[in-house]
Amino acid sequence: MDLIRTWAVFRKELIHIRRDLPSLIQVILLPVMLLLLNGYALTFDLTDVPLAVFDQEQSRVSQDFLQGFRGTRYFRIHSSVFNYEDLARLINQREVKAGLVLPFDFSRSLKTGQTARVQAIIDGTDANTANLIIGYLQGVIAAYNQQVVLERLQFQGFSRLELPLKTDSRVWFNEDLESRNFIVPGLIAIIMTMVGALLTALCIIREKERGSFEGLMGTPLKKWELILGKLGPYFLVGMLDMFIAMAMGEFLFKVPLRGSALLLIGLAALFMIVVLGQGLLISVIARSQLDAYQMAMLTTFLPSFILSGAMFAIHQMPTALQVASYMVPATYLVTISKGIYLKGIGMKILWPDAAMLCLFAAVFLLTAGRKLVKKIQ
């Protein structure tokens, strides 16, 4: 392999990227826009849920019960209503997400030792949100139940009461349970996939459509000189986007980086080679730039967004999709990124994922080289 010829192709591709300034600006702004939109708009945290209350009793006991909802950050009492029609109207108009109905005999049931019934009406349009609201409601009600039981036992003469089971929860790795700490590391894989695969998917087919590919066939270029020269500039662009994403995660979103930044950069560079090889393979087999773009979207971006675990937990997917996720290279970088960012783990644990990235890189590059061997000798 002649490094001078490789450098000539590398320099030619750099000049092309520099001349296509709108595309270069778009590629640089892509990680910024994705991180801003997903980091702020996409969140799995549910707080300040608007709640409507239909308190039919309006007693001190019922207000004490509702105080538990006022004292938590998960609920906000939006309004009080006086009939079911107003409650239904607020839910239908999406002004509230849930409603509480306290019956006329709420306090009497509690004072006589009976079971008081409280009706909760949840807007189930969004199933995930509804399940979270139900869990929060049950948590507040369980705390109130515990208080009532302790008061009853104290009234019966038990001076010192201790609960038989006490839960002391401790959250590891994401202590504040912030969604952005989970989302931002996963977005790094999606950004690198989009930049690397989509840009590289057009590099060979663009030469064919413009007629300059025939000129390259008449030169002494070897296939790997052409491949390395073509992929080099896009590797630099992809790593630049990766550094932008890391900087935004550190300084804008305050995502903790507990592991080795150098290890993350090194494994991300390995993943960049994977997506460049995948994009090159698409560019070699595609018939037009439109075909290459569509193939890249279907085989790189969409699987990495949906199946890699960047946004949605893999273990909650159907079995067939869980198996398919192992065929998505971004799955392994997502595991690596989240492990280094949140857990601070190293190669002792991450080596299987790194090995899979090496395997993907070899398969894509060798396959692309074989497809190209008949074009360039």
Is 22 in a helix, a strand, or coil? helix
Q: What is the CATH number of domain 49-155?
A: 3.40.1710.10
Instruction: Check residue 328 and report its DSSP letter.
Output: -
Per cent of the chain over pLDDT 90 is 44
Burial-class residue 214 by CB neighbours within 10 Å (0-12, 13-18, 19+): exposed
**Residue 314 above 80 pLDDT?**
yes
Round to whole Å and give the CA distance between 168 and 136: 18
Residue 283: what pLDDT? 87
How far apart are alpha carbons 361 and 196 in whole angstroms? Answer: 13
Helix (H) or strand (E) run with residue 76 in it: strand 75-80
Q: What are residue 280's DSSP bridge partners?
A: none
Mean pLDDT of 109-131: 89
Q: Residue 287 has what pLDDT?
A: 83
H/E stretch holding 282: helix 261-285
Residue 136: the pLDDT is: 92
Question: pLDDT at residue 377 above 60?
Answer: no
pLDDT in tens, 352-361: 999 999 999 9
Share of the chain above pLDDT 70, in %: 93
Closest CA to 62 of 50, 73, 77, 47: 77
Residue 80's pLDDT is 93
Beta partners for 75? 49
Write down the pLDDT at residue 21. 78
For residue 355, the one-letter residue type is A
Residue 158 has a pLDDT of: 66
Mean pLDDT of 362-370: 91
> What residues does each domain of the chain span?
3-43+178-372, 49-155
Beta carbons of 366 and 224 less than 8 angstroms apart: no
- The mean per-residue pLDDT over the stretch 102-128 comes to 89
* 73/240 Cα distance (integer angstroms): 39
Tell me the per-residue pLDDT of 121-175, one tens digit each, with 9 for 90 and over: 999 998 888 998 999 999 999 889 888 887 777 777 666 666 677 777 788 888 8
pLDDT attached to residue 210: 72
Question: β-strands 98-102, 119-122: how paired?
Answer: antiparallel
Express each pLDDT in 241-277 by its tens digit: 999 999 999 998 889 899 999 999 999 999 999 999 9
**The pLDDT of residue 376:** 44
The residue that leads in pLDDT, 215 or 8, is 8
CA separation for the pair 37, 119 (Å, rounded): 37
Q: Are 263 and 43 in contact (CB under 8 A)?
A: no
Neighbouring C-alpha atoms within 13 Å toward the C-beta of 285? 14
Query: What is the structure's pLDDT at 113?
Result: 79
- The rounded radius of gyration (Å) of the Cα atoms in the chain is 29
pLDDT, the chain, mean: 87
**What's the pLDDT tens digit per position in 274-309?**
999 999 999 888 888 888 888 988 889 889 989 999
**What is the predicted pLDDT for the residue at 202?**
78
| List of residues 6+ apart from 133 with CB closer than 8 A | 46, 49, 97, 98, 122
Whether 90 has a pLDDT exceeding 70, the answer reads yes
